[in-house]
Amino acid sequence: MDGTLVDTEPYWMAAEHALVAEFGGTWTDADGASLVGNPLITSARIIRERGSVALPDEVIVDRLVEHVRRAVVLGVPWQPGARELLAEIAAAGLPCALVTMSYVDLAEAVVAALPQGSFATLVTGDVVANGKPHPEPYLTAAERLGVRPEDCIALEDSPPGLTSATAAGCRTVGIPHMVPLEPAPGRVIIPTLAGVSLEELSKLV
């Protein structure tokens, strides 16, 4: 979701900067970029240790999620081509899952701004035991959709996400956003989803 469907990474970084500053710590954009794609509880631990934030990890997660959720309610910053491709997928009757390490409150706020039925299911970071780069999120999504992982195409913008999807057996397309992505077996890297049709997407993989 974050970075692939919506450009919320700046919202996350702003939330991190504000929280660390509240506790008198220092935080850089490079620090923020290093968290992209992580499970939120992992990012919270890093923020607590590196940013000297004297809060439990779970509270840090709640603070960050609420900051970003409020920003999304004011306006969803869609990534180029994402909504158009999603609409084409829905029109074709293909089942689609949103697989994100963001928590359900934030994911539902984003999905609420899309046409009803855009996603058949949401797999969020607070419903899996193992977050990305573990394959569990994508295995869970495929199971809920009633399909084999190898019959799925995963769209991802982060190294942990790509690793999770390919480990699950999905055919994977990487769209770099905040961090660079390297080509590897089982994945294709493209610069943007802008202008990418469902037919072109299936040809890529």
Residue 2 domain-assigned (yes or no): no
pLDDT digits (tens, 9 = 90+) for 175-201: 999 889 998 888 999 999 999 999 999
CA distance 169 to 165: 7
* Structural domain count, the chain: 2
Domain holding 183, by residue range, is: 82-204
Residue 122 lies in a domain: yes
Residues 99 and 195 in one domain: yes
Residue 3 domain-assigned? no
My answer on whether 61 and 131 are in the same domain is no
> Do residue 69 and residue 89 come from a single domain?
no
pLDDT for 119 beyond 90: yes
Q: Does the pTM of the predicted model rise above 0.85?
A: yes
120 and 68 in one domain?
no
Q: Percent of the chain scored above 90 by pLDDT?
A: 92
Q: Which of these three, 17, 47, 74, is where a domain ends?
A: 74
CA distance 85 to 81: 6
Whether residues 125 and 178 share a domain: the answer is yes
| 92 and 175 housed in the same domain | yes
Q: Are residues 93 and 159 in the same domain?
A: yes
Percent over 70 (pLDDT), the chain:
100
Question: Based on the domain organization, do 19 and 58 belong to the same domain?
Answer: yes
Q: Do 115 and 162 belong together in one domain?
A: yes
Question: At a CB cut-off of 8 Å and minimum separation 6, what does 21 contact?
Answer: 27
Domain match, 98 and 189 both: yes
pLDDT above 90: residue 37: no
